[in-house]
Amino acid sequence: MISPEARGVHAPPFSDAERAAVYRAIEERRDVRAHFVADPVPQDVLRRVLEAAHHAPSVGFSQPWRFIVVRDRARREAVHGFFESANAEAAGAYEGDRAGAYRRLRLAGILDAPVNLCVVCDEDPARGDGLGRRTMPETARYSTVCAIQNLWLAARAEGLGVGWVSIVDPQKVLSLFRVPARYALVAYLCVGYVRAFAAEPDLERDHWESRLPLDDVIDYEIFTMR
Ligand SMILES: Cc1cc2nc3c(=O)[nH]c(=O)nc-3n(C[C@H](O)[C@H](O)[C@H](O)COP(=O)(O)O)c2cc1C
């Protein structure tokens, strides 16, 4: 193999341990709904994971994200109420065994996690002057998702669990947090220290869905019908 130096690359390489740590955070990141503990999340730790989020790539370098830090119990209870009604409606869409299986799933930890993050995205950011969004306006939301993934991985390295809640009416959440109309709700996240990180996704453990083999999602040169 040609060494990085021989290729003219002068970026300092990651050590074996640093590289292993990156892959470990990726592999051991979990969506956490149960296992939260009530221990408070120190402000400096929260800032570190938000800093990681803020270093995400963004279309036109527009940085369209906004993170609303929610610790107030009454606000979390309100969102939990939105979740309960949306979840009951979602459960009603399944039939037979699948309906029973859905009802047994734990799909949010809004009240157990001491910190919630309401992540919203400016749909038409002035920053970046439209670069990249003329053809794909949705890239502002994609950028915000990149920020969330950075936060999720940094949180894992900090021993913090993160659970993504999408089973809520976005308009109700936006109005609860008085978010202006130009912003979209991208994620409602539950954040807190955890007793354990599961070895496999909860939905895999509960036989709802399983991980595809990598080769099922890779094509070469053109899309392959399977
Ligand atoms: C966009 C998005 C929305 C999600 N919404 C929910 C949700 O509402 N409730 C939930 O329990 N998990 C939610 N999840 C988490 C997924 O269920 C989880 O990522 C998946 O089962 C794989 O598990 P893992 O993240 O632990 O690897 C969401 C994940 C993403 C990326």
Q: Mind listing the pLDDT tens digit for each residue in 153-190? A: 999 999 999 999 999 999 999 999 999 999 999 999 99
Residue nearest to atom 10 of ligand 1 (CA): 107
Residue 73: pLDDT band with limits 50, 70, 90 = very high
pLDDT category at 117 given cuts 50, 70, 90 is very high
Provide the edge-to-edge strand list for the sheet that holds 115-122: 65-70, 115-122, 183-193, 160-165
* Average pLDDT value for residue range 120-134: 96
In angstroms, the Cα distances linking 66 to 98, 118, 182, 209 are 36, 8, 12, 32
Percent above pLDDT 70 for the chain: 100
Atom 13, ligand 1: residue with shortest CA distance: 164
Residue 1: both structure tokens together? 């193999």
Which of 150, 164, 168, 197 should be mutated for ligand 1, with most atoms under 8 A from CB?
164
**106 CA closest ligand 1 atom index:** 11
- Binned at pLDDT 50, 70 and 90, residue 7 comes out as confident
Token digits of residue 111: 């009240």
Atom of ligand 1 minimally distant from the CA of 108: 11
Cα 103 to Cα 90, 91, 95, 214, distances in angstroms: 9, 6, 11, 30
Look at residue 193 in the predicted model and tell me its pLDDT. Answer: 98
Distance between Cα 20 and ligand 1 center (Å): 24
Overall average pLDDT of the 99-106 stretch: 96
153 alpha carbon to ligand 1 midpoint, in Å?
14
Is the pLDDT at 46 greater than 80? The verdict is yes
User: Which DSSP symbol is given to 36?
Assistant: B
pLDDT at 6 (0 to 100): 77
Residue 172, helix vs strand vs coil: helix
Predicted local distance difference test score (pLDDT) of residue 174: 98
Residue appearing with tokens 């459960």: 91
The pLDDT of residue 1 is 67
pLDDT higher than threshold 80 for residue 4: no
- Around ligand 1, the residues with Cβ closer than 6 Å are 30-31, 33, 107-108, 164-167, 201, 203
Q: Which of 24, 30, 31 maximizes ligand 1 atoms within 8 Å of its Cβ, making it the mutation to test the pocket?
A: 31
Q: What is the pTM of this model?
A: 0.96
Q: Return the structure tokens found at 38.
A: 């009530």
Q: Over 70: is that where the pLDDT of 77 sits?
A: yes
* Best residue among 28, 33, 166 to mutate for probing ligand 1, ranked by most atoms within 8 Å of CB: 166
Nearest 5 degrees, angle CA 218-CA 58-CA 153?
Answer: 65
Computed on alpha carbons and rounded to an integer, the radius of gyration of the chain in Å comes to 20
Contact indicator for 111, 191 with CB cutoff of 8 Å? no
Rounded distance from Cα 108 to ligand 1 centre (Å): 10
Residue 93 in tokens = 């869409």
**Average pLDDT score, the chain:** 96
Nearest-10 crossing angle of helices 139-158, 43-54: 140
115, 46 in Cβ contact below 8 A?
yes
